[in-house]
Structure 1
Amino acid sequence: MSFLGLGGPPDDDGVEKTPEEKAAEEKQKRQRLIAARLVVAGVGLTFLVVGFVDFITKSH
C-alpha cells in the first residue's frame, strides 16, 4: 500500500462495486481532500502569523 493509500491499484479484486459502495468511496475521497486542504491552510496560516509576529517584534 502506498503512502495515504494514494497511487496504488484499487483493492477491488475484480469485483464490481455497488453504487452505494462507489458513493461511499467518493464521499471518503472528498473528506480526505477537505482534510488535506485544511491542513495546508492551517500550516500556511501558522507561517503567516509567526512571520507577522516576528516582523512586529523585530521592528521595535
Structure 2
Amino acid sequence: MTNYVRLARTLRDLLGIVETIKERGTGFLSLAEDIETTTPAGELIFHRGGPGNSTSLPPC
C-alpha cells in the first residue's frame, strides 16, 4: 500500500485487515508511513502506535 488510510476507515478495521493478511502468510507494508509487519520489530512498531493511537484514521 502507498498509504494505510486508503485500506481502512478505522483503526479496528485496519488491525483486522492486517491480521487477515498475516493469517494468509504475508505481511503489510505501507510506503508512505514506512510501516511494515513482515518482521517482529515492524509488527511491534505497528501495534504500539505506528498508524496513530486513535480509534479512527486521519482523512486521506
TM-score over 0.5 for the pair: no
* Greater RCO, 1 or 2 (C-alpha within 8 Å, sep 6+): 2
Query: Highest CA radius of gyration, 1 or 2?
Result: 1
If each structure's helix is expressed as a fraction of its own residues, which one has the higher value? 1
TM-score for the superposition, normalised by structure 1: 0.29
